[in-house]
Chain A
Amino acid sequence: MTIGQIIGGEYGDVWIRQKSGETIEIGDLLSIDDLILQVHDLSYGSLMDNNDLARMSGMQLEGYDETSLMEEEIRNFINAKAKPLVHIKDGDAKIPKILPDFFGGLKRVTKEDFEFMEEPENSLYLGKVRSGSYTLDVPVYINGKEALSHHLLIPATTGRGKSNLVKVMLWNLIPKEYCGMLIIDPHDEYYGRNEYGAKDHPKFDKKVMYYSPNPPKGGYHLRLNISGLKPWNLQGTIDLTDAQNQAVYMFYSHFRDDWLSELLKASNEEASGYGIQEATMNALKRKLKLKFDLRVKNGKVVPKGKIFVTEGSESLVNDIVKAVEDGKKVILDTSSMPQDKELLIAGIITDKIFKKYKSYKEMGELEDKPTVSVVIEEAPRVLGERAGRNVFHQIAREGRKFNVGLIAITQLSSMIPREILANMNTKIILGNEMKSERDAIIGSAAQDLSKDSKNIASLDKGEAIVSSIFTKFAVPIQIDFFDDVVEKDTKEKKEKNLEFFG
């Protein structure tokens, strides 16, 4: 059924008169012939001049006798502005290069209009096609293996459904072999201690590992043996002078994995034997003890806290790297850690994964490995100008060559340098009322979203626009509600049937 008609405009800004009795929303998808258009603005239109309109309104407001217009539905109307979104040609989606016919009648899109959308290889389900606030039963997939290695940005302000989106994505990715994930979770929300989460997935036991300083049953302790710390892990997390840095490397060259404990135990005489001055040594020891919660007692380095330990958990980093390489999803609960420790631990693990993948590339074994995706919240902490050089920066710039990508979640995209934003080749844009943030996202999107500022501002919770080099057009989607997904997928509870031997 026709709900509007084209009455003018230009490419990217087609004017549509709304049929009376119909409602066109911002974000609505309308079809005409082989074209799908998306509404990006709405305004009033009238055949009467402004004085007549004001007079009419005055009479109504001031209580004059009943006033009515002849053929009101003809004289006053709603005007919608729309942009051609996609041109379906021979069953394939193309960037539109034409305008639809003048006076052409527009219809609401239906499921059949999206028959060209197929499920790609290594698919990652994102949601369903949305027209305004109406959801169509058309699933939206991207090639997950490709898209994840080319980085994904999730920009949104609070309350627009970021967590729900990441939970749904993680849920869908859990059984997928093509991708391993490291999820740094500063709010401890993805495992689902007290609500639905990854733990409820039927494949949780085989495919997910949960690390926490206070793990529940089945979870692993998140703590790092200091023998796994390397001097380069300190970069960006602790301010050292050149002399202190040299002292660190001096101890590393002599004691390798034991460098930190040997340094903390070393007397000033021993240090001077390596050419390190007393003042340097004392200040360095103080900084390192403070940073890693360590102290020296009876000639032994002992931990004061729960995160950095001297005994046990030797293989934590290797175990996590191996799990990710095996396509598992590893969640790190960093909610109880100060930010510097969170980023230090996340950096050490990510660095090891990245180095390993670089070596796979050198050996020609990369294509046999699953893509690795590192999920980082409040991304400007590591990707912002002030974050300095770190492994996340490095991955953002060159990770895709090595099949390692980021899923960067942020409220402040504008704090991330433009070239990094541009490298994030898939953006799942949720609602955002801040114009400066919308501008940053629009300026770096894979498709031209210059007309979509209002559209993005009006996105409700769970509504999003996917702009990606892996989609033919910027697809408006409705993200599933996580609790519904869990309930649907876990409806049939398996009977526990234990075959015990031993």
Chain B
Amino acid sequence: MVKFSHLADCHLGAFGRNPTLREYNLRAFEEVIEKSIKEEVDFIIIAGDLFHNPHPDMDIVDRAVKSLVKARKKDIRIYSVYGSHDFNIAKASLVDVLESADLFKKVVRYLNESQSLEHVEDRSGVKITGLSGRKSRKDTSYYKELNFIEPDGDAIFVFHTPVAEMKPVDIHEKETVPLSSIPDGYKYYAGGHIHRNLREEKDGSPIIYPGVTFGSSYTDLENDLDRGFYIVDDWEPKYVPIDVCEIRRVNIDADGLLPSELEEELLDLSNGEIHEEVVLVKVSGVLREGVPEDIDFMRVRRNIEEAGAETVFLNRRNLEGKDVERLKIKEKDDAEIEDTILDEYGFNDLVNKKFAKDLLNVLKVEQGDGETNTDYDDRIWQEAWNLIDNLDEYEDVEEEESDVREKAVEEVEKKDGVGEKKGQKGQFSLSDFGGD
């Protein structure tokens, strides 16, 4: 009888700018390992995205390694595939280092000649075949192109790819694979990537996404998801929830409110003691007048923290002022659209406009494959400030230069979101607003 744990999407190192949430995320993983040890599993399967990026900070690595070593010392084998976050095509990622250190085995074994995958056999006799996830979702093409060979005996297929038929309605994934493309003949299918606890069957065998152990984005936290992993005992999967902190979720409908009324409602949240460690406030709607910037969100956040919350997240992406100007643009390409918008907003002066466009170009660069959130943030900041510092190069507009500088500074500060200094509590990185 074989017993194993199946977990995925731990995203260790996520919430890079929020130490509280980063810590809870780590704790959730540690708890998973503790529970697996206690349950005396034969092995642990990590179906990708153990880390939030391929080269996480060393303190994260330290904690993760300590946990994994504990399991290994109890003779628990650990098997893994790359996820879309912890894989780097250009250079070795931490997952490779951990494999070299014999902390776990990557179970993706590609045979070039037959263009097929070979399995890894666990001491228990169970064969494990793996297929990693890729950020670009190039892994989906492998399901069409590889020659999958049906395994003999008890076998597990580990993958990090969204299956179309299992995808929840609110998750927007362009590239998925159909259930029919998942290879046949396995006794258990250990999935990763979809941040939901989902279960389906393929020819009578369970195909499971355990979902997150904690979550990797504010969206994950806002959705009241199952958090945990599976323990599979004699091929019977059982979900094990993991709760490392209490989360209070508040939704406020701001439709038709004045900024002062909304601010009052938000401040009311801090009346009395708050017992939950994490408070997530989602504000949406259209204000009766004024703009969201009229509300002192900093004060709201501070008050909630003073009332007992360890960390607060105010989501106001769907909050609008009534007089929000909407531009309708029908240009052919990005450059033309930018031109039109800049003209509409009064960036008519050539130099002024050139600066604005250069700044836009800096701000719209996407995070590189394998680049950490911190590196990405730092790079964007650096390049934006370089541009502002070299405004002299945008010559012949001396008298207007101060205006331009002011506007540019505003732009950058706006991008920063809350206007706080870097590193302060409650500040978010650019990537915190991204996806998984």
Question: Which residues of A pack against B, CB within 8 Å?
Answer: 205, 215-221, 223, 227-228, 311-316, 318-319, 364, 496, 498, 500-502
Interface size class of B (residues with CB under 8 A): 35 or more
Segment at the A interface, from B159-167, B351-359, B424-432: B159-167
Besides A215-B180, A319-B164, A364-B330, 15 other A-B contacts (C-beta < 8 A)? A216-B180, A217-B180, A218-B144, A218-B180, A218-B181, A220-B178, A227-B169, A228-B169, A311-B200, A315-B164, A315-B168, A501-B87, A501-B138, A502-B87, A502-B108
Smallest Cβ distance from B309 to chain A, in angstroms? Answer: 31
Q: Is B132 an interface residue (CB 8 A)?
A: yes
Contact of A502 among B110, B112, B115, B178 (CB under 8 A): B110
Q: Chain B residues in contact with chain A, CB under 8 A? A: 81-82, 87, 89, 108, 110, 112, 115, 131-132, 134, 138-139, 141-142, 144-146, 164-169, 171, 176, 178-181, 198-200, 328, 330
Residue of B nearest to A219 (CB): B180
Residues of A within 8 A of B81 (CB): 502
Chain B residue with minimal CB distance to A502?
Answer: B132
Residues in A with CB closer than 8 Å to B166 are: 312
Residues of A with C-beta under 8 A to B134: 501-502
* A220 partner, pick from B110, B165, B171, beta carbons under 8 A: B165
Contact A217-B181, Cβ < 8 Å, known A498-B115, A502-B108 = yes
Sample (29) of A-B pairs whose CB atoms are under 8 Å apart: A205-B141, A218-B144, A219-B180, A220-B165, A220-B178, A220-B179, A221-B179, A221-B180, A223-B165, A227-B169, A312-B165, A314-B168, A314-B169, A315-B164, A315-B169, A315-B171, A319-B164, A319-B176, A364-B328, A496-B115, A496-B145, A498-B142, A500-B110, A501-B87, A501-B89, A501-B134, A501-B138, A502-B81, A502-B87
What is the distance, in angstroms, from B403's C-beta to the closest C-beta of chain A?
34
Cβ-closest chain A residue relative to B106: A502
- The reply to whether B180 and A318 contact each other, CB–CB distance below 8 Å, is no
Residue of A nearest to B140 (CB): A205
Docked Cα-Cα span, A223 to B200, in Å, equals: 13
**How far, in whole Å, are A316 and B181 apart by their CA atoms in the complex?**
17
Residue of A with least CB distance to B168 = A314
CB within 8 Å for A221 and B145 given contacts A216-B180, A501-B134, A502-B108: no
Residue in chain A with minimal CB distance to B184: A217
Are B145 and A498 within 8 A (Cβ)? yes
A316 vs B328: C-alpha distance when bound (angstroms): 32
Closest to B141 in A: A205
Tell me the smallest distance from the CB of B46 to a CB of chain A, in Å.
Answer: 14
Closest to A314 in B: B169
Q: How far is A2 from B166 in the complex, measured between Cα atoms in Å?
A: 69
How distant is B168 from chain A, measured CB to nearest CB, in Å?
5
CB of B119 to closest CB in A, whole Å: 15
Min CB distance, B184 to chain A, in Å? 9
Contacts of A502 in B (CB 8 A): 81-82, 87, 108, 110, 131-132, 134, 139, 142
Q: A219 to chain B: which residues have CB within 8 Å?
A: 178, 180
Which residue, A217, A313, A316, A502, has most C-beta atoms of chain B within 10 A? A502
Cα distance, A316 to B163, chains bound together (Å):
12
Q: Enumerate chain A residues within 8 angstroms of B164, measured Cβ to Cβ.
A: 220, 315, 319
| A201 vs B145: C-alpha distance when bound (angstroms) | 16
- The interface residues of chain B lying within 8 Å CB-to-CB of A496 are 115, 145
Taking a contact as CB atoms closer than 8 A, the residue among B82, B110, B138, B178 that contacts A215 in the complex is B178
A226 to chain B, nearest CB (A): 13
Closest-by-CB residue of A relative to B133 is A502
Contacts of B142 in A (CB 8 A): 498, 500, 502
Contacts of B115 in A (CB 8 A): 496, 498, 500
**Residue from A215, A217, A500 whose CB has the most chain B CB atoms within 10 Å:** A500
Cβ contacts under 8 Å, A205 to chain B? 141, 144
CB B211 to nearest CB in A, in angstroms, measures 15
Nearest CB of chain B from residue A200's CB, rounded to whole Å: 14
- Do the beta carbons of B178 and A314 come within 8 Å of each other? no
| In the complex, the 10 A-B pairs of residues with the closest C-beta atoms, listed nearest first | A502-B132, A314-B169, A220-B178, A215-B180, A315-B169, A500-B110, A315-B167, A502-B108, A221-B165, A498-B145
